[in-house]
Structure 1
């Protein structure tokens, strides 16, 4: 195993779309891949919003085991890009205000689907993952190895986003939005494009998180 520190974690925050592979009901047992948007939750797990009528939703109800592929291939060069294959089970997630608010920061257009009342959230419980970051940088990790640290609480993350979003606005930034914050980095939208600002190391307390976010704002808000 030769995986750069936290590379799979950062990749899950960089990409907005993944490939979900469920077990087909008919013909039974065959892989059934489909492409759909996702957002990482506070534990970096893919959270998806799917229609109750979708084939992959029926498949998950019958067998929650699934694979989820995330790829970052600049200029279409897949073999030189990063990709991570996640293996685990998907579980329904209640549409609490916390879940809805976080998902809509990443995918604001999804609000129209929530209004329909037919769409539900599912989150992946990771068992194992395989990361490939180019030649010589690949290997397997257990699900619990992705992040052993306790996640930021919803209220703490929201307070940081509110505080530093105001700071970015006062700096005259254009097209800058904070989507999410965790102990390893911040997810941004810059001129409509998703971006990840990786911290130099894990931030274990409020003081170090503030310092890292100030650096992030100074680099991107102007």
Structure 2
């Protein structure tokens, strides 16, 4: 069954942390699972800020293959709730200013880790994704399908963020929705379908978010 991508993107943007499974170097042949925060980049790929001393970092340096599991934490029936597994390769990525700014908007507490100098950014590039939307609703998304998702460039996002009115704490904007923090909680406003920069500006202006 081929899954629609919009619910997958919503789940990716709605979860601040996930379970990462790497190949254990301490006990070869066994998976090593850990929980860590992440931020989706402009191309909807999970980005981590991790220490060189962490067990999962040592594992990834030896074997880049990994799996990431996302599932809402506040659910009474985990087996009936939506969940997403991404299988792919994790590699270090450059800490360019746009990526750092985006990461800190979503994860402001990470600023103290950046100051330590031992932490670096890593990105998971999906090869396949397995989405379970509910009982009997499941399917795969291939890397090619993921690569064809609509992407809002960092420059276009920065231009929109510069127009955000005071009182709105916007974390990130993409072609499929907007992430913000309201009353101390992270929330996502999903669009019905992918929008380009002009259409996003019109939508956010109608919502009173930007000038």
Give TM-score scaled by structure 2 length. 0.93
Q: Could you list the per-position Cα deviations for residues 60-116 of structure 1 after superposition, in whole angstroms to 9, with x for gaps in the alignment?
A: 000000000011243342122111000000010111211111100000010000000
Report the Cα offset of residue 217 of structure 1: 4.1
Distance in 2 between residues matched to 1:2 and 1:74, nearest whole Å = 27
The superposition leaves residues 119-172 of structure 1 with CA deviations (integer Å, 9 ceiling, x where unpaired) of 000001110010011123210110231351452121210110121x22xx2xxx
Task: Report the number of matched residues.
Answer: 210
Aligned to 1:43: 43
Alpha-carbon offset, residue 2 of structure 1: 5.5
Task: Give the TM-score taking structure 1 as reference length.
Answer: 0.89
Counterpart position of 2:83: 83
Q: Is the contact made by 2:126 and 2:143 (CA closer than 8 Å) also made in structure 1?
A: yes
Report the Cα distance in structure 1 between the residues aligned to 2:38 and 2:88, rounded to whole angstroms: 16
Map of 1:28 onto structure 2: 28
Give SS of 1:75's match: coil
Distance 1:136 1:215, change over 3 A: farther
CA–CA distance in 1 between the matches of 2:67 and 2:52?
19
Structure 2 match to 1:181: 173
Which residue is equivalent to 1:212? 203
The CA distance in 2 between the partners of 1:109 and 1:45, in whole Å, is: 21
Pairwise CA RMSD? 1.7
How far apart, in 1, do the equivalents of 2:154 and 2:121 lie?
A: 17
1:58 corresponds in structure 2 to 58
**C-alpha separation in 2, matches of 1:14 and 1:83:** 11
Q: Which runs of 5+ in 1 are unaligned?
A: none
Q: Which residue of 1 aligns with 2:192?
A: 200
Structure 1 residues 15 and 125 mapped into 2: Cα distance closer, same or farther (>3 Å)?
same
Cα separation, 1, equivalents of 2:199 and 2:96: 30
User: Are residues 129 and 149 of structure 1, via their aligned partners in 2, closer, same or farther at CA, if it must alter by over 3 Å?
Assistant: closer
Tell me, yes or no, if structure 1 residue 15 matches structure 2 residue 15. yes
Q: How far off is 1:212 after superposition?
A: 2.0
Return 5+ residue gaps in structure 2 as ranges: none
Q: Deviations 1:43-64 (Å, cap 9, x if unpaired)?
A: 1111000000001000000000
